[in-house]
Structure 1
């Protein structure tokens, strides 16, 4: 009798999650394309000029078609100019600034997305990004504005403190899953609330995180030695955290695809029962996976507090990144470099959405709808295949 003979099949939720996370790159690209089409329809429908010309469509249909083109083209060109390159700027150094803003927004998204993706590969659903980011931000921030350490050492210690804080907070869910069987979805949701109210309390407590002499729930500014240096000078907001995220992405890829630890992670993610029969300590893998996942999500909190919001932070420092990371991980198909690309795309949405709203008066909620529709299409690959008439994937043979 082999290990697969005695192994029980994975649960329905784990099976669905595995199918979503293991889809092809083509499906991800087509999902993004369809989401942009849906976004274009919403932009056209909400445009006042389009609605006005629709009233006399049958007498002059070209007016409505022209209005639709102007609204959609104007919105998406503004999105591009606000996230990649602004052609209206005379100098290249000024025109490329939107791209640096995109990469700045993408930095914490990539880090948090890697954490969620790593948990996915082990068959776990880490939706506790908000709590892990808050704890990591509190730990890194406390070191950043409290301790007077030598240059470079201060920054390294602050980063490590944040990563360790996120790892410990994520490890709680892994430990409870391993020891008691508590589902990590419920545990991480509850830990989000615990972290939020804990940090909120500390931000209102003098001598803890609250800035001295202030009544506002906000920390002091970070010391200069604890701030991630700017990558291209003070004119741009992009900092060395992006370079750190590139290195972390490569490290996670090596861990998952080339190391023995990553092999155990993948085996447990495919079938925990078979992995247990094969001699893999599944409970230990759960703990390790959630610790590493929390550390990566914690790095996103570090990037926020030491790279973006260096003047002091409040309880909303996570900025929704913990939940956006789930979408990034799904779009990246839980592959490190896929998550990296998805993080840049969502960073472009964040950077360009404000420009689109300012230039074309398009509600920024349209960008949120596009992001949500991407998730919808990723979660429904048969729909994408039906629209584009793609063949069904071949079933893998059993060796």
Structure 2
């Protein structure tokens, strides 16, 4: 059995096992798993509105997954995607509401502001890692909390003591009457196109450019890369900056599309942390991230239909997601089993 087939089978088997064990959990908790999963399915694909909301939910997950996956592919563990997403959300919301410009200028400017904010938030742990050898995991975790409280303070400052920014101008909005009407007045917006464009950008950078080759090389072996003449410090910083750009754009999806403003938060959005699981499920590949984000976005939105339609609490879906992550993380065991089954088949 080829590695490509194994790489494809591991996440599929993980999802199946997650759903299976999730069904057992429902059964032991006194709920009907068949009705629960039917309600989940209908919550995702039941009608045009549900489908629109599901696709809308997927957009920031794709970008958060790309942010984590890009750092992983270059040998770094960016747990700061949540903070980078939050500062990107604020930057996009602020530019969207603070100035009035033609849409052809205003929307790209708001997106660039989100990307720049995320890049700056990624640059800090990147430079500390490159110059002072401070582990990026520690710094990025701390940066998440700094982002949360700094942004809350900024929201208060720009809203004259209020709890949320003003609504963005229509010229900065990703919303679309066409998509809304097509999906029975859902909040689906053009952010999904931005997210898919970034998938292509990540693939192009990593697979088709000299910079991408160097970034991957430094990730595989920094000492060998330095010996080969590559600037390791520059590539570490660049990796974190690009990762931050993807995360910042994830925040722009919420600011310019879903909500149209940013409110003070008592806690994290969770999207950045889920991006770790999305990247893991997608094997840190651009195409795989689309798959992982689609699964997570669908489960997150579809879960809302389970309490009403089947009486199953949404916490059960969180358990199913956790189980899927567990089985993906245990992919080595699944790989060993598949390898042994393949050898037995060949022996026969």
* Same-fold status (TM-score > 0.5): yes
**Residue 251 of structure 1 pairs with residue 201 of structure 2:** yes
Shift of residue 272 of structure 1?
1.5
Q: Tell me which residue corresponds to 1:377.
A: 327
Cα pair distance change 1:99/1:318, threshold 3 Å:
farther
Provide the rounded CA distance (Å) in 1 between the counterparts of 2:165 and 2:299. Answer: 29
Shift of residue 317 of structure 1?
8.8
Q: Tell me which residue corresponds to 2:229.
A: 279
Shift of residue 347 of structure 1?
0.6
Q: Tell me which residue corresponds to 2:167.
A: 221
Return the index of the structure with the highest Cα Rg: 1
Q: Tell me which residue corresponds to 2:72.
A: 120
Q: Tell me which residue corresponds to 2:263.
A: 313
Which of 107, 113, 119 matches 2:59?
Answer: 107
Shift of residue 318 of structure 1?
5.6
1:330-363 deviations in Å (ceiling 9; x for gaps): 0000000100111011110011100112211111
Cα pair distance change 1:391/1:259, threshold 3 Å:
farther
Provide the rounded CA distance (Å) in 1 between the counterparts of 2:113 and 2:152. Answer: 19
Provide the rounded CA distance (Å) in 1 between the counterparts of 2:257 and 2:189. Answer: 6
Which of 276, 281, 302 matches 1:326?
Answer: 276
8 Å contact kept, 1:228–1:240? yes
Provide the rounded CA distance (Å) in 2 between the counterparts of 1:245 and 1:392. Answer: 38
8 Å contact kept, 1:116–1:126? yes
- The residue correspondences of 1:1-399 to structure 2 (distance < 5 A) are 24-47=7-30, 71-84=32-45, 86=46, 95-205=47-157, 208=158, 210=159, 212=160, 215-230=161-176, 232-234=179-181, 235-315=185-265, 319-385=269-335, 389-391=338-340
TM-score, normalization by structure 1: 0.80
1:296-325 deviations in Å (ceiling 9; x for gaps): 000100001110111443336962101000
Provide the rounded CA distance (Å) in 1 between the counterparts of 2:107 and 2:139. Answer: 32
Cα pair distance change 1:137/1:393, threshold 3 Å:
farther
Provide the rounded CA distance (Å) in 1 between the counterparts of 2:28 and 2:273. Answer: 28
SS in 2 for 1:217: coil
Shift of residue 393 of structure 1?
10
Provide the rounded CA distance (Å) in 1 between the counterparts of 2:312 and 2:222. Answer: 47
Cα pair distance change 1:203/1:311, threshold 3 Å:
closer
Structure 1: any 5+ residue segments left out of the alignment?
1-22, 49-70, 87-94, 395-399
Cα pair distance change 1:225/1:317, threshold 3 Å:
farther
Provide the rounded CA distance (Å) in 2 between the counterparts of 1:225 and 1:280. Answer: 43
Q: Tell me which residue corresponds to 2:346.
A: none
Shift of residue 146 of structure 1?
0.8
SS in 2 for 1:314: coil
SS in 1 for 2:164: coil
8 Å contact kept, 1:385–1:392? no
TM-score, normalization by structure 2: 0.91
Shift of residue 389 of structure 1?
4.7
Moved more, 38-47 or 310-319: 310-319
Shift of residue 126 of structure 1?
0.3
Shift of residue 97 of structure 1?
2.4
1:258-310 deviations in Å (ceiling 9; x for gaps): 21111112211211221111111111110100000000000100001110111
8 Å contact kept, 2:175–2:256? no
- What RMSD in Å do the two structures reach over aligned CA positions? 1.9
1:363-394 deviations in Å (ceiling 9; x for gaps): 111111111122211222233246x5543999
Provide the rounded CA distance (Å) in 2 between the counterparts of 1:129 and 1:318. Answer: 11
